[in-house]
Amino acid sequence: MLPLHPHCHCRYIGHYSKVHKIVVKNPQLSTMQKFSLNEQRQIVGSYAKLQEFHNGEDITKLFNRVRPDYPVGFYRDVFGYNGGMRTSFKDFGDSIKDSTVTKTTVTHNMFGKYNRYFNDIILSTKNKVENAIVIRDGVFIKHIKSMNKDSVDVPPHLISSSVVIHNHPSGTSFSKDDILLGIAHNAKKLIVFHPDTYIYEASFENINIEKFFLSYDIIQKDVDEYLSDAVSKGAKNNIASFEKQHIIMSELARRNYDFNYKRYKY
C-alpha cells in the first residue's frame, strides 16, 4: 500500500519523468546488499532462494516462481523501451488493429463456461464489429448485434446483475464508458476480448462512482504524460496506445480494492 496521511484519503503519485537515472552495473545485487542477510531472506522467501540469487539467478524469476499468478514485470515490456531506449519487443500493435479473425475459436481455461459465448460472437461478427452477450445466473439472456466497430448498446435493465461479454475489434481493454455502465447499472461482471490478443475481466462491488472516476481522470492524466514521454524517447506509438487502457485499469484496481481487474493472454 502507498502511505496515507492520518484521516486523509490523498495518495502519493509517482512522477516518472522526474526520476534521475543512476547507472548501476548490477542493480539487483547492489540493491540487495543494502539489506541485512535476514532481510534479504525475507525479500526472496527463504535462505535456499537467497543462495540461488547469489549463485546468479535473476530475482524476478525467484519472485514469479513463488507467485505465478502475480508476476513481477518491467515497464520496458509494456512501453517498448528499456533504460537505454532500445526497442525490446516486436511491433505487434499494427497487426492487431481492426484485424479479422485468425483464430476460429477462443478457449481459455479460466473462462470454461464462457468460451462458447466468445465463439458465438466470433461466428456472428467475424470480429469486425462489436457484439455483446448477456448472461444472468448462468442463463443466456440475449445476444445483441451491432453494426459499429466501436460500440454496442446494451440496455441498462439487461446489465443489472448480469455477466456482460463483448468484443473489441481493436484488442484494447475496457473503455471508460464500459466501466461507467457496469458500475451505474450494477453489472455482476464485465468481460471483453479479441481472439488474437487478450481477454479482459472486471468486477466491482459497492464502488462510489464519483470517487472512482475522479481517480480514473487522475490516473489517465499521469498515464498520458508518461506514454507521451515514452514515445518521445523511442517507444512504439501504436503499442503505447494499445496498452493505455490496460495500464489505467490495472492502476485503478491497485488503488481500489473493490475494483477487480485482470488480463489473460492466450
Residue ranges of the domains in the chain? Answer: 23-73, 92-266
Low-confidence ranges of the chain (pLDDT < 70): 1-22, 74-104, 127, 257
Residues in the chain, overall count: 266
20-75 residue pLDDT tens: 666 777 888 888 999 999 999 888 888 888 999 999 888 888 888 877 777 777 65
What is the residue-averaged pLDDT of the chain?
Answer: 80
Cα 247 to Cα 220: distance, rounded to the nearest angstrom: 9
**DSSP alpha helix (H) spans, the chain:** 27-32, 37-44, 47-54, 59-66, 75-79, 93-96, 115-125, 156-159, 176-184, 209-232, 237-255
Mind listing the pLDDT tens digit for each residue in 100-119? 445 667 778 888 888 888 88
Mapped onto helix, strand or coil, the DSSP state of residue 21 is coil
Contact 256, 207 (CB under 8 A): yes
Phi-psi region of 107 (alpha: psi -120 to 50; beta: other; left: phi over 0): beta
Looking at the DSSP bridge assignments, the partners of residue 202 are: 190, 261
| Cell 496498452 sits on residue | 243
Rounded to whole angstroms, the Cα distance separating 114 from 166 reads 11
Cell of 223: 498515464
Dihedral sign for Cα 109, 117, 202, 149, please.
positive
Neighbouring-strand partners of residue 165? 133, 191
